Amino acid sequence: MSTNQTSGEFNLPEGYALPENLYRELAAFIEGLPTKAGHLVTALHKAQSLFGYLPEEVQKFVAEHMDVSVVHVYGVVSFYTFFTQIPKGKHPISICMGTACFVVGADKIVESFRQQLGGVEVSEVTSDGQFSIDCLRCVGTCALAPVVMIGEKVYGKVTPDQVKDIIADFS
């Protein structure tokens, strides 16, 4: 990565396809860290919040700016389940499939979301990029089973009939 110090330009090397302005913001964030040591997860959180996921090119960028190997970055990304290397929709839908949720019909909730979103599969993004569906092991709100999260918003005791209205909240 290079920044032309005289003109303030930010130049990405070839092979980077994602928006340059997001890389610029990420580079500024990393430069603003008090120290690079011990802040890799912080930098990765910022990168994922900017790009929505952590593809190989973003991991490479973070590695270069944090002065660590790409293998080290990949190890962290693949270890923590919060990080994703798969693109998510603007409104990521997470359906709890823990025991309490599954027992009261979480699988029917998944199917209802799939149908309402045009047949999109779990781990896929709708063609308009607005929604993605994922299943989680447990979100720790068993009293609200079955539980659906869209972004940070939590829906409890969800029924298949409510899915259309839940989606409408974000359309």
Pick out the residues of the known binding site for [2Fe-2S] cluster.
96, 101, 138, 142
Angle at which helices 56-66 and 40-51 cross, to 10°: 140
- Binding residue positions: 96, 101, 138, 142
**Distance between CA atoms of 84 and 47, rounded to whole angstroms?**
11
Distances 37 to 41, 46, 152 between C-alpha atoms, Å:
10, 16, 29
